[in-house]
Every structure is written in structure tokens, then in C-alpha cells.
């Protein structure tokens, strides 16, 4: 089964919430015992699996903040080294290539200004919680006790520390770079999608304005190659298409609501904003199929958070 990953979108632009409650990991405070004698920073620093995260914290001057043991409490969603490696960050030198403002914003997007244990998260889907960088995360706790942050599973929960709690997560959380349209514009692999949105907006519906609105929306975003395979070889081919025809196709890729990969249900048929349905298939990896497609499209990249929804990248244009 193909592993789905959260994209290194912020890095690409500037350079190019798995089960919860498997255990309450008291040992996660690095053997500090039920007394929880280690701070969040000391707990991370004592575990080699968090060495990249610790280096990033040091680089951005956040060590003192996460070391304080006053009445102030924090919650840290902590990506381990494997999570950083998945987005191409293996060492301090890789971190050095990231502008400080970008890296600090990413780190603060992993921190809440209060202690939130797993059981404190509402049993609901996608509860917005504001992070220290001012942007919201979306926390889900299922009836089975599983927790997801922006659709990413928490793999170890409730690592209790003197100044808060750590939850281990399996991917780096990337803060949104803008709304759906702005996010697509920032990704070179979605340039033909952007061209299609702009061309469609010349018809009776301003698709760009809709996808830039408050939403929230979930968009299945075909890559450039997906458009080429569908017969749109380049921007000129897209601009030659009838705008309202493109609108019908594009709105077939949009679902009302914020739907992360953890919210997808096998064999479900959610309605798109053009009034027709698509099929969600999870048996052999995450896939979505249009009524006019002979085969399903693979969801190759999940959970790109935007200010007005979420984007999942797919490898085939969906046909109504």
C-alpha cells in the first residue's frame, strides 16, 4: 500500500492529527517517572529520535520557552526525525537552508499555549485550536479514542512534562500559505490546475473567487501530468477550452467542508459542489473515482492545509 505523506509545501515554495491512546507514555518524559521532572525541551533533548526537532528549536531560540517550569503550560505536537526526513530535512545543514521566519512559523504551528491531554480533545471532527503562530490546527478525536491533527495521526500521546505535554506525530505540520487558489499558485506542479481555474472564471461562474472565499472546501487537485493525460497538454490547450465546460469539471473536484484524509470513508459517495458525487475507495490506498472515469485516481499527497480548507493532490482528472 502506498504511504501517503504530507507535502513539504512550505519548503518547495521557498526553495522548491496512527492510533492514539495505545498507551499513556509516561516514559516519554524520558524516564522522568510519574513526578514528570523534565521540561518539554529536556524531554526532547534526551531522546535521539527528536534530534532534528531539537536542532530546529535551538536555531530559532525557543529552547528557553520550552524549558520554563513556571505555571505556564504548553502542548507540543512533536515530529520525530523520520517525519522531518520525509520532507527532506536530515540535518542541521538542511535546517540552515530554511529562512528563520519560515522555520519559526512552522515550529510555533506545533505548539499550543495551554496543556491539552488526549482526553481533553473533544470527541468530534476537526475542532479548531489556535497555535502559537496564530493559525489554527484541526484536532479530531474519534469514538475509538484515536486522535488526528490536521488529518495526521498522533502515534504517542500524553508524554507528560513539568511544563506541559508532548504528543508524538508522524509528520511535520505545515501552516497554510494562503487560501486554496493561493496554495495552488505556490505549487509549480499545479500550474495547469491554476490555468484551468482562471479560464473557467471567464465563464458564468467565477471559480477563482469561489475557491478564494471563506469555504471551507476540500479540493482534489490534479497534477500537471494528470491534465496532460486528460488531453490538456499545456496552458494554451486549457485556454482553448470552453469556460463553462471547465467549470463543470473543476467543481466536480470540490466538496463542501474541511475533509482530511482521516475523515475519508471507504465506499462513501460524497457530493461535490456541482451536484454530482465521487466515490472514495480506501482498500488499496486512498483513491477517488469520478463517474466518468474507468479507473480511480490515486490520492498521492494529502492534507495540504489552506486558510479556507484542505487540498489533496491526485494523479487523474475526475470526470463527471
DSSP assignment of 253-273 equals TEEES---GGG--TT--PBPT
Is residue 4, in this structure, part of any structural domain at all?
A: no
Instruction: Flag whether 147 is in a domain.
Output: yes
Show the domain range for 63: 9-169
CATH number at residue 57: 2.30.180.10
The verdict on 223 and 78 lying in the same domain is: no
Split into its structural domains, the chain has a count of: 2
Q: Name the nearest CA neighbour of 193 among 151, 150, 275, 254.
A: 254
* Of residues 35 and 312, more confidently modeled: 312
**Separation between Cα atoms, residue 150 and residue 86, nearest integer Å:** 17
Name the residue among 219, 289, 209 with its Cα closest to residue 257. Answer: 219
Q: Does residue 3 belong to any structural domain of this protein?
A: no
Please indicate, yes or no, whether residues 121 and 162 belong to a single structural domain of this protein: yes
189 and 285 in a single domain? The answer is yes
Q: Greater confidence, 282 or 68?
A: 282
Average pLDDT, the chain: 89
Could you tell me the pTM of the whole model?
A: 0.86
Q: Which of 169, 188, 204 is the last residue of a domain?
A: 169
pLDDT for the residue numbered 36: 64
- Tell me whether residue 140 is exposed, middle or buried, using C-beta atoms within 10 angstroms of its C-beta: 0 to 12, 13 to 18, 19 or more: buried
Does pLDDT of 22 surpass 70?
no
Does pLDDT of 18 surpass 50? no
Asked, for residue 70, whether it belongs to a domain, the answer is: yes
Asked if residue 207 and residue 145 are part of one domain, the reply reads: no
Cα within 13 Å of Cα(26), Cβ side: 6
Q: 188 and 309 in one domain?
A: yes
Give pLDDT tens digits for 133-183.
999 999 999 999 999 999 999 999 999 999 999 999 999 999 999 999 999
The answer to whether residue 319 sits within a structural domain is: no
Judge whether 104 lies within some domain: yes
Is 20 in the same domain as 152? yes
- Convert the pLDDT of each residue in 104-131 to its tens digit: 999 999 999 999 999 999 999 999 999 9
Comparing CA positions, the residue from 105, 314, 118, 296 lying closest to residue 218 is 314
Regarding whether 156 and 254 lie in a shared domain, the answer is no
Please tell me whether residues 224 and 90 are part of one structural domain: no
Backbone dihedral angles phi then psi of residue 85, each to the nearest 5 degrees: -60, -30
What does the pLDDT look like over 67-88, one tens digit per residue?
A: 987 778 999 999 999 999 999 9
Residue 11 grid cell = 519548503
Whether residues 97 and 194 share a domain: the answer is: no
CA distance from start to end of the chain: 27
Q: Are residues 287 and 215 in the same domain?
A: yes
For residues 23-39, give the mean pLDDT: 45
Q: CB–CB of 304/9 below 8 Å?
A: yes
- Residue 175 domain-assigned (yes or no): no
User: Of 141, 169, 197, which residue sits at a domain end?
Assistant: 169
> How far is it, in rounded angstroms, from Cα 102 to Cα 98?
7
Judgement on whether residues 249 and 204 belong to the same structural domain of the protein: yes
Among 112, 137, 169, the domain-final residue is: 169
Lay out the sheet containing 136-141: strands in order across. Answer: 111-112, 74-79, 164-169, 152-161, 147-149, 136-141, 127-130
Give strand pairing partners of 140.
148
Return d(Cα 151, Cα 258) in angstroms, integer: 10
Asked whether the beta carbons of 140 and 148 are under 8 A apart, the reply is: yes
- Examine the domain organization and report whether 115 and 157 are in the same domain: yes
Phi/psi at 159 (5° precision) = -85, 95
Residue 57 lies in a domain: yes
Amino acid at each position: 500500500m502506498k504511504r501517503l505523506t504530507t507535502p513539504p509545501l512550505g519548503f518547495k515554495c521557498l526553495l522548491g492529527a496512527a492510533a492514539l491512546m495505545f498507551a499513556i507514555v509516561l516514559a516519554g518524559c524520558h524516564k522522568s517517572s510519574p513526578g514528570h521532572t523534565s521540561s518539554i525541551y529536556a524531554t526532547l533533548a534526551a531522546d535521539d529520535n527528536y534530534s532534528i526537532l531539537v536542532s530546529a528549536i535551538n536555531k530559532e531560540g525557543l529552547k528557553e520557552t520550552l524549558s520554563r517550569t513556571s505555571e505556564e503550560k504548553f502542548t507540543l505536537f512533536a515530529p520525530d526525525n523520520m517525519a522531518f526526513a520525509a520532507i527532506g530535512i536530515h540535518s542541521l545543514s538542511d535546517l540552515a537552508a530554511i529562512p528563520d521566519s519560515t522555520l519559526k512559523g512552522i515550529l510555533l504551528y506545533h505548539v499550543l499555549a495551554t496543556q491539552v491531554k488526549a482526553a481533553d480533545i473533544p470527541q468530534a471532527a476537526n475542532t479548531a485550536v489556535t497555535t502559537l503562530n496564530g493559525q489554527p490546527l484541526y484536532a479530531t478525536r474519534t469514538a475509538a479514542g484515536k486522535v488526528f491533527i490536521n488529518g495526521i495521526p498522533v502515534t504517542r500521546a500524553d508524554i507528560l512534562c513539568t511544563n506541559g505535554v508532548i504528543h508524538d506525530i508522524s509528520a511535520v505540520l505545515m501552516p497554510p500559505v494562503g487560501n486554496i487558489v493561493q496554495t495552488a499558485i505556490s505549487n509549480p506542479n499545479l500550474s495547469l490546475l491554476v490555468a484551468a481555474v482562471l479560464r473557467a472564471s471567464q465563464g458564468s461562474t467565477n471559480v477563482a473567487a469561489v475557491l478564494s472565499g471563506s469555504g471551507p472546501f476540500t479540493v482534489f487537485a490534479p497534477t500537471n501530468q494528470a491534465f496532460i493525460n486528460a488531453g490538456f497538454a499545456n496552458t494554451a490547450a486549457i485556454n482553448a477550452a470552453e469556460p463553462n465546460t471547465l467549470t463543470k469539471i473543476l467543481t466536480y473536484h470540490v466538496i463542501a467542508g474541511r475533509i482530511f484524509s482521516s475523515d475519508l470513508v471507504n465506499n462513501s459517495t460524497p457530493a461535490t459542489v456541482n451536484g454530482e458525487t465521487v466515490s472514495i475507495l480506501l482498500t488499496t490506498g486512498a483513491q477517488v473515482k469520478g463517474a466518468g472515469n474507468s479507473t480511480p485516481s490515486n490520492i498521492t499527497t494529502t492534507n495540504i492545509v489552506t486558510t479556507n480548507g484542505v487540498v489533496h493532490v491526485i494523479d487523474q482528472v475526475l470526470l463527471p
